[in-house]
Amino acid sequence: MKKILSLVGILTVLLAQSVYAAPTEQGVKDFLEVVNKPLNGVVSTGLIGGEPLPGLPNFTVGTGVAAFKVDYKDINTSEAKTAYLPTLFAAARLGLFGGIGLPGVSGIGSLAVGARYGVIPSGAENPVGVTGGELRIGLLNDSLTTPGVSVSLTYNKVSDIKFGKDSDDVQATIKAHNMGVKAIVQKELLIFTPYIGVGQEKFSTEASYRIGSLRINKIWDKNSTETRWLAGLEITPFPFFRLGLEYNSVGSDPAYALSLRFKL
């Protein structure tokens, strides 16, 4: 069964499998190991898009929704199930330098910066936020004769996720961030702009956890590197507006994104 779950909802399911029956330190560590993968997904999920965006005053701003797939087992039946963790986000990108024109190509060496802010519905009083930044270097500008080729450097961070109340026996606070580099190739074809990309993501997760009954209060951390594949299509149904669809694969876990952007 596929459904949308809040972040706290899926964490509750995963924690219940590892901790609630009989709190142990190994159970908490098992929970953190399992949670690390979906956190890696939601912290970095969002429409990356094409566009080296050569020079001022070019900019794009928009909003969208992304969903990261999570596989888990039902705590009552042990049945394998699938859920999606959604992220609502707003993003902007600004061109800083148009590159250097060369014979036969429109330009090389363009430069743009971007920012992203997302909210992950958590099911808690305060939603979990994701902030990110991007530096994009256009190695080759998109033109009639050449595709657009760019390298994107990104950093994303998720706000602290606190699980459990002070009165609970088990409590954990989780932090996560990632850095990535991606190469993206695009080609504008009338109103359609397909693009593909590949990159490397380095994820870091840190958690402080407490088990009151066992008098345990420790720190847990995990670092991993995953390959990211992405493919997308942007459609320009009206001047200055772009509708974007994107598929991401982080390791073996897929994510999907839909956005509407205004471009000048």
Domains of the chain: 2-263 (2.40.160.20)
* pLDDT, tens digit (0-9, with 9 covering 90-100), for 135-144: 988 888 887 7
Instruction: Look at residue 104 and tell me whether its pLDDT is greater than 70.
Output: no
* pLDDT, tens digit (0-9, with 9 covering 90-100), for 111-125: 889 999 988 876 656
For residues 203-213, average pLDDT? 88
Instruction: Look at residue 21 and tell me whether its pLDDT is greater than 60.
Output: no
The Cα 48–Cα 247 span in angstroms is 10
Which neighbouring-strand residues pair with 121? none
Instruction: Look at residue 49 and tell me whether its pLDDT is greater than 60.
Output: yes
The Cα 109–Cα 160 span in angstroms is 37
The Cα 115–Cα 213 span in angstroms is 43
Instruction: Look at residue 205 and tell me whether its pLDDT is greater than 80.
Output: yes
